[in-house]
Chains A and B, each alone.
Chain A
Amino acid sequence: MSERRTALPDAAIRESADSVSLGAVCHCGGVLNESAGADAPVVALVGAPNTGKSTLFNALTGARVTMGNWPGTTVEVSRGVWRTTSATAVCDCAECDCAEKEWKLDITLVDLPGAYSLDPHSPDEALTRDLLLQVPGDGRPDLCVVLADSSRLSHSLYLVSQLREHALKIVVALTMNDIAARRDVKVDVVALERALGVPVVAIDPRQRKGLGPLAEAVRSGLAAPLPDARPVGADPDDPDGLDEERFCWIAEAVEAGTDGHGAQHPSFSDRIDRWALAPFLGPVIFLALMWLVFQITTTVAAPMQDFLDELFTGPITDGTLALFSAVGLSGSWVEGLVVRGLIAGVGMLLTFVPLMTLMFILLAILEDSGYMARAAVVVDRMMRAIGLPGKAFLPLIVGFGCNVPAISATRILPDSRQRVLTALLVPFTACTARLTVFVMVGVTFFGQYAGTAVFVMYLVSIHLVVLCGFLLRRTLWRDMPYDPLVIDLPPYQRPTLRLTASVTWLRLSGFLQTAGGIIVATVCGVWLLQSIPVTSDAAFGAVDTADSAYGVVAQAITPVFGPTGFASWETTSTMVVGFVAKEAVISAWAQTYALDEPAEGEAGDLGARVFADFNESSGGHPYPAALAFMVFLLAYTPCVATLASQWREIGAKWTLFGVVMQLAAAYVLAVAVFQVGRLFW
């Protein structure tokens, strides 16, 4: 996790000065590990959003990547190794044993966030600018590959015009040539090259075409001396004049480099958009699709999740127990660590895999098809009311199924501040794991009104999202500038299987790497606390929960919950378990009372004990205490997997902030519910 984060800039910001001269580096042997090494040249991918940077990045690097946030920021930057072979020699060393026409060069490739220009409007654009221009000479990438969408060339060239005003090595890679061709726009690469004054290569990152010529262009660019900056004929202190000059330059380049005006009749995309963006039908289509996403991530994933869960708690646990008793270690602490720590932790992690896979596949399809941009338009008005862009709707909806993939889904938000804000709000959405606890508590306390009580929890959940979003916008993100909706809509297209698969795999493996450690470590940590005897002289690993370090901690924090009406040791203890996973709350309850778990939807003996307990701790007001408990369960940390997911997306600092914010919100609300409730009930 953290070391992956800090590992990012090592290659991007290099220290050694002489490494820029390529002649000194021999790469013929090829590099076997996943890093291109400290002295490999660094090439940055830049370009406007949706020009195909990430697709190209994935195509060039394969699995050799580190994804993560730039240190100190929440801006996502991916770094990977691009292995190139070339017919031209890159080194002249004697011990070189490269085959003829196969000189290898490993390049560190950096995928920077999308930027239309070098004038920073967001932290993402600011990072791009700083890396390309502000960082002193050696730290900069050795070459920029600017991606330009040839179906709307002029949009992509503003960045080129600005970059050309600096002495930087640039290669322009034209993407979306298939779309341009469909619109009868012809791009004359040679003429465009002459007009822009930089090498231009036409590629198709989706079909992985043109990557060889791109490698050639990049390698000759790296070997060539720094080009001169483009002389600007306008006063640099006059931004309007400067812009005017740039747009003239762009217009000339587009004029020289493209042929044909394209079809003017309504395209296929226009015809779909007539429905998909329409005032009434647009939201209906959108909601139907969201319902589908929600259904797939909950109902389709559920049986697979249950299967994995049963596999781990059943056969695998039983088998391991049998193994331990066979070697005479039955009941030992080693068995406890393996079964209740490692197996339980890994099992929990793996139950998320079907869910996350489905989520990532759906995200990739929605993005690749071009619908995601439309979704952002359709719900923009509504989401803006709570200070979030339209795209934030999807993570929040998914959150009602499970918070873990929902937080990963914040990745679709282009602006890192919006990503942080959304990732902080997602845990307030009542996931299905919390639903099972709500139902049990609801049935126990409210009998036939259980449904109403659960429904109220959903209302509270929505209000928490809106309210906290509003408060955060008014406090921490007060300076987040007004960001009106203007997006260029990409044409619709059929999602490609290969792209969907590779994006899904990349995201899934990233999730497993980060979340795996956190989840397994936490589950083992809880086991450890439950195994350390404190108030009894039982042996390590053989102690009752009440007498363990865990029990002592739960007892110590119990008085804090006095004003909430549910301050009993048994209840606070389940809440500590609930921190790990909400599904575990009921079984933990049953465990502390040494009772069987009730069947789903029933209160059973456990219900009677819980009721008695609440009655006592609340001084005769069990109903408001139960409501307060439900509200607390709703608002505080959903589970460690959510934290792990947050950690991965927005970093440790914001994750911690989120934990504190949620605990505070949960506590304040619970106290308010109980104190007001007991006046009437």
Chain B
Amino acid sequence: MPVALKNAPLRSTLVLRQGGAQAELCQRLAVLGLRPGTAFQLVQKTSGGGRMARIGQSRVAIGAELAGQLEVEVNQ
């Protein structure tokens, strides 16, 4: 069941869904490892309502607005 990233649980495996962000932004996300189909985890909430994601080796901070736009699939 798809949910907005900001509503996704912490520390579960998530998979980004296609769409949600403009093409330009998708590419930026993809370069940082956030591609549709790749699994990642949310590590913590950040001040201002954003999230910090762990994608492989890297930590990516995602702003509140964007976290509201991106849709993810939660894998239990």
Contact = CB atoms under 8 A, between A and B. Distances in A.
Contacts, number: 118
Interface string B16-55: 0000010111011111111100000001111111101000
Contacts of A117: 27-28, 31
A155 B44 contact: no
Given A377-B46, A378-B47, A486 B60 contact: yes
Contacts of A154: 33, 56
> Interface majority SS on B: helix, strand, loop or mixed?
mixed
B52 A378 contact: no
Interface of B: 21, 23-25, 27-35, 43-50, 52, 56-66, 69
A119 B61 contact: no
Contact of B46 (A48, A121, A378, A382): A378
A440 B14 CA distance: 61
A677 interface: no
4 pairs of A and B residues whose beta carbons are closest in the complex = A485-B63, A381-B48, A282-B47, A484-B66
A487 interface: yes
Contact of B52 (A152, A243, A489): A489
A151 B55 CA distance: 12
Given A116-B31, A486-B60, A489-B52, A277 B44 contact: yes
Given A239-B23, A277-B44, A283-B47, A152 B58 contact: yes
14 contacts: A119-B24, A152-B56, A155-B58, A247-B30, A247-B35, A277-B61, A279-B45, A377-B47, A377-B61, A377-B63, A378-B46, A380-B50, A484-B69, A486-B63
B48 A382 contact: yes
B31 A158 contact: yes
A375 B20 CA distance: 27
A310 interface: no
Interface string A378-389: 111110100000
A378 B64 CA distance: 11
B62 A485 contact: yes
B27 A280 contact: no
Contact of B32 (A155, A377, A384): A155
Contacts of B47: 277-280, 282-283, 377-378, 381
B42 to A, nearest CB: 12
Given A378-B46, A484-B63, A486-B28, A277 B52 contact: yes
A487 B30 contact: no
A625 interface: no
Interface stretch (A20-28, A226-234, A267-275, A522-530): A267-275
A377 B59 contact: no
A484 B25 CA distance: 8
B65 to A, nearest CB: 6
Given A486-B61, A488-B58, A489-B61, 20 more contacts: A48-B31, A116-B28, A121-B28, A152-B57, A158-B31, A247-B35, A274-B44, A278-B45, A278-B46, A279-B48, A377-B61, A378-B48, A381-B50, A381-B63, A484-B62, A484-B66, A485-B62, A485-B63, A485-B66, A486-B60
Contact of A273 (B27, B34, B48, B52): B52
A186 interface: no
Contacts of B44: 273-274, 277-278
Nearest to A158: B31
A55 B24 CA distance: 29
A517 interface: no
Interface in A113-141: 116-117, 119, 121
Interface residues of A, number: 41
Contact of B59 (A158, A247, A273, A378): A273
Interface in A142-160: 151-152, 154-155, 158
B20 to A, nearest CB: 11
B60 A488 contact: yes
A551 to B, nearest CB: 54
Nearest to A374: B61
A580 interface: no
A262 interface: yes
A252 B22 CA distance: 27
Interface of A: 48, 116-117, 119, 121, 151-152, 154-155, 158, 183, 185, 239, 243, 247, 262, 269-270, 273-274, 277-280, 282-283, 373, 377-382, 384, 481, 484-489
Contacts of B61: 277, 373, 377, 485-489
Contacts of B66: 484-486
Nearest to B22: A482
A279 B69 CA distance: 20
* Of listed A155, A381, A384, A484, residue having the most chain B CB within 10 A: A484
A278 B49 CA distance: 10
A445 B23 CA distance: 59
Contacts of A273: 44, 52, 59
B60 A489 contact: yes
A481 B27 CA distance: 15
Given A485-B62, A488-B58, A488-B60, A270 B43 contact: yes
Contacts of A377: 46-48, 50, 61, 63
Contacts of B65: 384, 484-485
Contacts of B33: 152, 154-155
Contacts of B32: 116, 155, 486, 488
Contacts of A151: 57-58
B62 to A, nearest CB: 6
B24 A277 contact: no
* Of listed B21, B30, B48, B65, residue having the most chain A CB within 10 A: B48
B46 to A, nearest CB: 4
Nearest to B23: A239
A119 B27 CA distance: 9
B13 to A, nearest CB: 13
B30 to A, nearest CB: 7
A355 B47 CA distance: 31
B48 A243 contact: no
A435 B61 CA distance: 38
Given A277-B44, A380-B48, A270 B57 contact: no
A279 B44 CA distance: 10
Contacts of A270: 43, 59
Given A262-B57, A487-B60, A489-B59, A243 B45 contact: no
A579 B60 CA distance: 45
A59 B57 CA distance: 27
Nearest to A152: B58
B31 A155 contact: yes
Contacts of A121: 24, 28
Nearest to B18: A240
